[in-house]
Structure 1
């Protein structure tokens, strides 16, 4: 079964959906504030540091045990995330071979807009692609690749069903060299040569065809026997090619000797079924923002924290009443960007946003004459040591 895609056209959502989004006034606004941060104790900080030491081969735990903590400064990093689960659709023309059961299934319908069909995702906020056939778009047409014959001539043997034997190179001899007793005989007087009318010199040989079953190459032992009626002198059956038995030709490997191959477009039926294929793309668009923090964002992305606000609606409004104005501005910007990106390209199925406060403890330490800082962040108390030393230094 072969599918051939001709055109792919993304389909914009219907105008009724765009108007409903623009006129939608239902959303959410947060008026919640973050509670006081629970401070981290010195024991928690030291345990987190020792866990980080074990991850490094050349860091010695004995040196870290002598470290003195001068001050612990509690901070928080706000992590705002907005996710929009969108749906986009595209259509493409496809063809496939016709099966007998499909000849009776040609129902038609007046629905032409791909957005008129309801397609549900298997799970929300998970990227996925659904492929289905639009009902009523199936038509039966003659196959243009084989002109409705179901077969076409084999390209390798030019439709003859035979080709040069690759084991004896068309000579009929096991040695692969034409025997002088064959091509020097006055009744043969023909050396095995290529037939340029059948293809390249390396892939064809001149042959004689007597009926449908008697085919042999020129200058071969079988050619000698057909002319003289006796086997070639000085040549035994053990000298003949064991693959072609002295004929110099073999059955075409590609068409199995038939000279024709079944059409791959219609699978030999002579007809193809054309239909419109509908592709539905479910994708999650994600935007996130971190407030200023000395810990890199790539470490804070998966760090657990305390959830301040979380909401999931068909369409959410930005946060406007939080006491950190930077969060309000980013929430408004992300909501506008997601709405702008979906206009004319896809439709938003559902949105959700959340605000998480990640606890961060900045530790000021001293180790001998060395002073520095490191950070312990997240509810799971992960440790980050900026400008960590090389393997030749203790800290």
Structure 2
């Protein structure tokens, strides 16, 4: 988009160093105040329906041998757990409570601007010869999809040079360590001018003062704002943030295992679909997954298209295996869970624990 140049914004009395009062597309941007996130252009791609194909939704049942191996590894990882229930316990029954996890990922790009400064290094500029590109007109290379990333850029044609206010364009400021005096209290005699024997202190020659090491006795140090350059380059900074917004839905199951534990494991991949804008899933055997997909897709589209641009979406379904293993040890009944493709174990009522003291 081309903007007409408004000559009134470029006061000739101030020459090259005077920034315009505003730029087209950046009106209201105040130095020192973030411009906030900028609404993106409307999306151009509309989603199309996707139907899941018929496939094997089942997962093999956990064998007793695999259940016992997982239990053994779990107990071995706990120093305070006795291995007796694993060796002597008898598995009485195993129940399967497999469940589905639907995951929606919405990869977004958002942009915001603010005035910024940095030491002027003598860069060649042609300020105000043409309007700067708009925030969403700046070409920016996107990172790897579905990975968080932040990038900062200078908006072209927004630069101007100004004297550093911090040091009044001198390049130096009062030394903080000595408060500008060039000297500090002697560390040997602590300002007394004498040592413990009441003789003249050799470190400060009896003055009680030492030359400040930070400023070498000058009383001033390099300005931290302009780094001694005396001038600052003022420009509009564009901050681009890519964020992967992830939301999961897990179908309820009646095993008794807290659903929060399932966030730690993976499942058997059943379906994955990646497009700029995905369409809610249809035709999935479990109605809860289809309902969650429709609700989450619509919510993501509404929520993340307001303050950013949706770059791509990805939806997937996993079948998470859950087995409840009931076993008997010393005449009493106990149980543990084996879940996820990693065969993670949860055994809250493990019957043989002790207190360990780690030295």
TM range, smaller chain = 0.7 to 0.9
Residues in 1 aligned to 2:316 and 2:282: alpha-carbon distance in whole angstroms: 13
Which residue number in structure 2 is paired with residue 14 of structure 1?
40
Q: Deviations over 1:185-207 (max 9, x none)?
A: xxxxxxxxxxxxxxxxxxxxxxx
Which residue number in structure 2 is paired with residue 274 of structure 1?
234
**When the two structures are aligned, how many residues end up with a matched partner?**
322
Q: Deviations over 1:28-78 (max 9, x none)?
A: 342445434322333222333333333344544444444333333333111
The structure number with the bigger radius of gyration is: 1
Q: Deviations over 1:96-120 (max 9, x none)?
A: 22123x1x23455423421111222
Alpha-carbon spacing, 1:43–1:163, altered in 2? closer, same or farther (3 Å): closer
Which residue number in structure 2 is paired with residue 258 of structure 1?
218
1:141 aligns with 2:162: yes
Tell me which of 243, 250, 258 is aligned to 1:296.
Answer: 258
Alpha-carbon spacing, 1:337–1:245, altered in 2? closer, same or farther (3 Å): same
The alpha carbon displacement at 1:344 in A equals: 2.2
Question: Equivalent residues in 2 for 1:109-128 (5 A)?
Answer: 109-128=130-149
CA contact (8 A) 1:32 1:308 kept: no
Alpha-carbon spacing, 1:176–1:106, altered in 2? closer, same or farther (3 Å): farther
Question: Equivalent residues in 2 for 1:319-358 (5 A)?
Answer: 319-358=281-320
CA contact (8 A) 1:32 1:309 kept: no
TM-score by length of 2: 0.76
Residues in 1 aligned to 2:321 and 2:176: alpha-carbon distance in whole angstroms: 72
The alpha carbon displacement at 1:297 in A equals: 2.7
Alpha-carbon spacing, 1:174–1:37, altered in 2? closer, same or farther (3 Å): closer
Alpha-carbon spacing, 1:174–1:353, altered in 2? closer, same or farther (3 Å): same
Alpha-carbon spacing, 1:246–1:312, altered in 2? closer, same or farther (3 Å): same
The alpha carbon displacement at 1:161 in A equals: 5.0
Alpha-carbon spacing, 1:388–1:291, altered in 2? closer, same or farther (3 Å): farther
Which residue number in structure 2 is paired with residue 374 of structure 1?
336
Measured on the aligned residues, the alpha-carbon RMSD in Å equals 3.3
Which residue number in structure 2 is paired with residue 97 of structure 1?
119
Gaps of 5+ in 1: 178-238
The alpha carbon displacement at 1:278 in A equals: 1.5
TM-score by length of 1: 0.70
The alpha carbon displacement at 1:146 in A equals: 2.9
